[in-house]
Amino acid sequence: MNDAIEHGSEVSDEVVAPAVEPTGHAAIDEALSALSLLADQPVTEHVVVFDAIHQVVRTSLAEAGRAEVPESP
């Protein structure tokens, strides 16, 4: 049985999202910042946010290493 119920403790319905640490990649950090908005949205709308983040990560990974590296003088 659930310890909170057995001991008469109150269980909070509040959802606390863990802090998202910066990745150092601006596009990914911006996309991940959308996770902080999920607590105020219905679960049915979470998929849209997750899909958007997934697309940014996929695009970033696909483009990784493609930027031209400036030549050393």
**Domain-embedded: residue 12:** no
The mean per-residue pLDDT over the stretch 3-12 comes to: 59
Q: What are the C-alpha distances in Å from 6 to residues 2, 14, 19, 28, 65? A: 6, 20, 31, 43, 55
**Domain-embedded: residue 51:** yes
**Domain-embedded: residue 8:** no
**Domain-embedded: residue 36:** yes
**Domain-embedded: residue 59:** yes
Q: According to the model, what pLDDT value does residue 30 have?
A: 92
**Domain-embedded: residue 6:** no
| Average pLDDT of the chain, as a whole number | 79
Cα–Cα distance between 55 and 2 in angstroms, integer?
38
Full residue range of the structural domain in which residue 41 is found: 21-65
Q: Given a cut of 90, is residue 40 above it in pLDDT?
A: no
**Domain-embedded: residue 52:** yes
**Domain-embedded: residue 48:** yes
- The rounded percent of the chain whose pLDDT value lies above 90 is 34
The mean per-residue pLDDT over the stretch 36-58 comes to: 92
**Token couple for 33:** 């910042």
Give the count of domains, the chain: 1
Q: Would the pTM count as exceeding 0.85?
A: no
